[in-house]
Amino acid sequence: MFKNRNSVRFGVAGLAVVVSISAWAGRRVYFDCDTLDTGEYRRYAQIAKELGATHLSACQIEPSMWQWNQNRYDPYPNWSMHRASVFKFVIPDELKPYLDADYCARNLRRLRERAKVLKEFGFRATFTGMEPSYLPEKAYRDHPNWRGPRCDQCRRARFEYFAPCLDDPEMREIYVKGVEMLCREAPFESFDVMCNDSGSGLCWFPRLYPGPNGPEACRNGSISDRIVNYLSVFQEGAARAGYPEMTVNFNRYCSDAIREQTLPKLKKGQSISNRSLAKTVSVHVVGFPNPFAEYSYPVYAMPRIVRVARQLQEAQADPEGDVAVSVRSLEETDMIRFMRMYFKRPIGKGQVARYAALNALAATFVGEERASELVDVWEAIESAYARSEWAQTGGHIFLLGTTHQRWLTRPLVAFPGELKPEEKDYYRAFQFQAQEEERADDMLDLQGFRWLGGMGGKFAVEGTFNLAGKEIDAAEAKAAALVAAAKDAESEKYLKGVVLKLRLYRAVMVNAQNVVFYQFLIDEARRNGFETKDLTEEGYEQGSLPWYKMNEYARSEIGNTLRIIGILEEAQKLGVTVIRTATQDEFESVMNLAPVPKLIGQLRKKIEITENHRRDTSRMYRSYNR
């Protein structure tokens, strides 16, 4: 694509800019986007074409709710429902009795629509997914030789899940056939496949959650040979469909030792952990392709342009590595403008050059005189992110708590186990908790682990979000003041959206603090056998200090919830997206909150239930007017 011209001219905030495209000559430029809407997909394609991309992602799927609907008692399928896999598009004859044909047909129809766009713009397609993905149990009962390793995370699943064995000749051929069928529908020429997580795995791999396991037939096989065989499945299928230059990357949970053993055995076009024998980094990622890994979840596409600038610098400094650009939303105006300004024009080396580029970008929004103020806003977001980086284990606290345990929508009550179904089901149905109900009631039990409790957890959360919160509050005020300086309508909408996202991010922090503090006092009451001595400090004449605190945390969360409702309503009026939710009511899941109208109803219900049970704290700590 690059060989047909030496330069490209395009507009950036009203300026005509001529840039060289030699920096990426001979290298693949992947462009990733996240939409099921064909019209939006075409707009992404236009941006990708303008940047000089060679490949565009085409693996977007409807969440595979049918996998969870087989038994809603088990939350584990939620980790795989949103991940693409070959058999969520096409079904070889051997698998037709076991997979949902209607579901696959819907995904295939959309893929065919995207294939027309790919052809129009001259793109090859990329596929990012999870393989080999677990199959329904009946498939293994009918074909015992297909059963590969058990691959579920044992604390997070109520049932066992098994990936198919790719060492089995019959199953391997089914997979090759599936890849061929997929590549005949769209020009896939790059696969990035996650393994050994979320319901996928290779036989006898050391990093499987239940430990190394698999069928006896392949027990003694080499792990490095197994990885090469795995990667070859995709290349063979693509070659049958007419794409012999397919590249494929083994992604996720590979030790340094296994990687070093495997690198010399890799075939042309294969890489492991984004490394090949020839290249330390095969593909540089610019942007954020995994929303569930972001520290501001569920805030939607929080501005991260400071990190993007660093990523692009690193990619430009490597003369050989390919580059993958991930735009999270068409509303991500800052990244789209930045890519147009600097994707083909070198930023330069070092921090000074990077911040000069960021300042130039900011000037397109608010002019040169106030550009540094907008850069300060962007920088504050990075600082807040850095402060909360520690708060993750298998996911960040805002994913595992705010969303997975529904901190955002569940009420703060002293005895959650006593709630009636009509008070509880609206959030309990979407909790990620595969253990006992008592642990589901414990707000700090995150996916079967309790790593945040006690006084230490309380201090860590308080210290982190008090400091980060001050930074975000200051950034919000500065962004709000910049709205009047916006140079055009698009810039004004962007700045207003940033203000609302910062407010929501702050509210998510407050929600986390209130939940951790409230659960801490529940734990203390239970530890002390609900016997708390009266405290006589001035100002606490109505009962004990912990009783006062519990009610204050509940009151704080009611106010915080009202603020969130206001933010969501204001964002709807403005026409900006500030929170990541399911696209339809029926797609609400552990991973995704309900669409905004339904979510607002849940937030109002949370307030009502919290108020109805406010006096229950008197059974836990002393109150004089109980």
Question: What is the structure's pLDDT at 292?
Answer: 92
For residues 171-190, give the mean pLDDT.
98
Question: What is the structure's pLDDT at 253?
Answer: 82
For residues 503-530, give the mean pLDDT.
92
Question: What is the structure's pLDDT at 14?
Answer: 33
pLDDT confidence tier of residue 5, bands split at 50, 70 and 90 = very low
Is pLDDT at 21 greater than 80 in this prediction? Answer: no
Question: What is the structure's pLDDT at 565?
Answer: 98
Q: Give the pLDDT confidence of 249-303 residue by residue, as tens digits.
A: 998 888 889 999 999 999 999 999 988 888 777 889 999 999 999 999 999 999 9
For residues 456-478, give the mean pLDDT.
95
Q: Which helix (H) or strand (E) element contains residue 106?
A: helix 101-121
User: Hey, which residues does 581 pair with through a beta bridge?
Assistant: 593
Q: In the structure encoding, which two tokens stand for residue 29, read together?
A: 């430029």
For residues 484-506, give the mean pLDDT.
98
For residues 424-453, give the mean pLDDT.
93
pLDDT confidence tier of residue 16, bands split at 50, 70 and 90 = very low
More confident of the two residues 78 and 532: 78
The Cα 54–Cα 1 span in angstroms is 7
What percentage of residues in the chain have a pLDDT greater than 70?
93
pLDDT confidence tier of residue 7, bands split at 50, 70 and 90 = very low
Strand residue runs (E) in 60-186: 124-130, 147-150, 162-164
The Cα 439–Cα 434 span in angstroms is 9
Contact 103, 88 (CB under 8 A): yes
What torsion, rounded to 10 degrees, do the Cα atoms 139, 140, 146, 150 define?
120
pLDDT confidence tier of residue 621, bands split at 50, 70 and 90 = confident
Tokens 């990357």 belong to residue: 249
Is pLDDT at 4 greater than 60 in this prediction? Answer: no
Tokens 């403008």 belong to residue: 337
Average pLDDT taken over every residue of the chain:
92
Q: Give the pLDDT confidence of 92-104 residue by residue, as tens digits.
A: 999 999 999 999 9
* Amino acid type, 143: H
Question: What is the structure's pLDDT at 531?
Answer: 57
Is pLDDT at 543 greater than 90 in this prediction? Answer: no
For residues 196-218, give the mean pLDDT.
95
Contact 501, 579 (CB under 8 A): no
Task: Render 511-571 in DSSP notation, one character per residue.
Answer: HHHHHHHHHHHHHHHHHTTT-------TT-TTB-HHHHHHHHHHHHHHHHHHHHHHHHHHH
Is pLDDT at 532 greater than 80 in this prediction? Answer: no
Is pLDDT at 390 greater than 70 in this prediction? Answer: yes
Question: What is the structure's pLDDT at 393?
Answer: 86
pLDDT confidence tier of residue 36, bands split at 50, 70 and 90 = very high
For residues 455-466, give the mean pLDDT.
93
Q: Give the pLDDT confidence of 303-357 residue by residue, as tens digits.
A: 999 999 999 999 999 888 899 999 999 999 999 999 999 999 999 999 999 999 9
pLDDT confidence tier of residue 530, bands split at 50, 70 and 90 = low
Q: Judge if the upstream peptide bond of residue 132 is cis by omega within 30 degrees of 0.
A: yes
| Sheet arrangement for strand 55-57 | 270-272, 247-251, 188-194, 124-130, 55-57, 29-32, 322-326, 283-287
With 0-12 / 13-18 / 19 or more C-beta atoms within 10 angstroms meaning exposed / middle / buried, residue 417 is exposed
Contact 201, 208 (CB under 8 A): yes
**Among 295, 249, 297, 310, which Cα is nearest to 274's?**
249
Question: What is the structure's pLDDT at 539?
Answer: 52
For residues 576-580, give the mean pLDDT.
97
Is pLDDT at 583 greater than 90 in this prediction? Answer: yes
Question: What is the structure's pLDDT at 449?
Answer: 87
For residues 603-619, give the mean pLDDT.
95
